[in-house]
Structure 1
Amino acid sequence: MNDGGPPFDYRELSPEETGGEDGWYSWNLIDRTRYNTAVLGDMHVRREGTRCRLRMFPERKHTNLGDNIHGAVTLGLIDIALFATMHVVGSGNAGPSVTVELSTQFVGAGDPERPLDAVSEIVRETGRMLFLRGQCMQGDDVVASYSGIVRKMKPR
């Protein structure tokens, strides 16, 4: 229930360092009952030039009956990566925004024993729209390719 405050609390994103190794930061919500952390678990993020790498650490609960990472988990990671990229590489305003379009091509099975990375780049950012593309990777192995559009909303 909205108590009159903003519908999204920017302070919920907690990019504190995860030990400082290789530029990784935590990308976890302070409220761990929300989808990002409750479902996908702890995530780390870092900037790599003009790209953003969002990493999750698969667990058994993220697998399908074939013992691969479930496609819905990959899609969830990709969706969160769009907003992480806006924050880390783009304008920095990952606040009240919505995914308008997400196109994904699954090209390989995700191995639940290895971290899964969504590596995204901004194709174009305007005042209200963000156009992105990227790949979900495990090392050099491509699990999925994607492109997406995010619409930035005005704060209420």
Structure 2
Amino acid sequence: MNDGIEEPKRAEHFDAEALDGGWLSWNLNDQTRFNAFIEPLSVRLEAPLPDGRPRARIRMHPTRKHTNLGNNVHGAVTLALIDVALFAASHQFGSLNAGFSVTLDLGTQFIGGGRVDEPLDAVVEQVRETGRLIFLRGMVVQGPNDEHIVASFSGTIRKASQDKK
């Protein structure tokens, strides 16, 4: 543990290579899947919130292929980042350990246009975890001090059943 921040966790279906600054690559081994469109991604645990709840940062690097006609990051790309970030963060928190989980809901408020050729970060915090559900919220931000807010979001993940059927 370093400054209250745990080491990132590796996942079975991901190329999880340790990177500088506490980052871990978060890219699917199978490049024919949807996630590859927004990769490369990286994940890093952040300092926990004052009440001890965990936080993580998931980063993508938008390029021209991620833009709309206004030359901003397309809203669908921002939504894809958010959805993937819910799972990457939950895995880092130790909340997802087995099987395939699903997004139950995702509420998003677009606040500003994402800028191209600048890292786009989803900062995710865990609100609550129950036996089968994980409640999360966060913001998509850019800039050295997260000063450019692109979106805010909340979402719920249903954990995979531990039963083999």
2:32 paired residue number: 33
1:99 paired residue number: 103
The C-alpha deviation readout for 1:4-25, integer Å capped at 9, x for no partner, is xxxxxx621222212xx11011
2:79 paired residue number: 75
What are structure 1's unaligned runs of at least 5 residues? Answer: 1-9
Q: Does 1:141 align with 2:141?
A: no
The C-alpha deviation readout for 1:99-155, integer Å capped at 9, x for no partner, is 000000000010012110000000001110000000000022110000000001215
1:87 and 1:99 mapped to 2: Cα distance?
Answer: 14
2:70 and 2:83 mapped to 1: Cα distance?
Answer: 23
TM-score normalised per structure 1:
0.88
**SS, match of residue 11 in structure 1:** coil
C-alpha spacing 1:71/1:15, structure 2 compared with 1 (3 Å): same
2:129 paired residue number: 125
Q: Does 1:60 align with 2:100?
A: no
1:79 and 1:92 mapped to 2: Cα distance?
Answer: 15
C-alpha spacing 1:68/1:94, structure 2 compared with 1 (3 Å): farther
In the TM superposition, what is the alpha-carbon distance from 1:83 to its structure 2 partner? 0.3
* Large movers: runs of 4+ above 3 Å: none
C-alpha spacing 1:94/1:69, structure 2 compared with 1 (3 Å): farther
Q: Greater shift after overlay, 84-93 or 97-106?
A: 84-93
Among 112, 119, 132, the residue aligned to 1:115: 119
1:55 and 1:141 mapped to 2: Cα distance?
Answer: 14
Q: Identity across aligned pairs (percent)? A: 56
Whether the aligned pair in 1 keeps the contact of 2:55 and 2:126 (CA below 8 Å) is yes
Whether the aligned pair in 2 keeps the contact of 1:69 and 1:109 (CA below 8 Å) is yes
TM-score normalised per structure 2:
0.83
Higher helix share: 1
1:4 paired residue number: none
Q: Greater shift after overlay, 64-73 or 87-96?
A: 87-96
1:12 paired residue number: 13
Whether the aligned pair in 2 keeps the contact of 1:101 and 1:149 (CA below 8 Å) is yes
Letter in 2 for 1:43: L
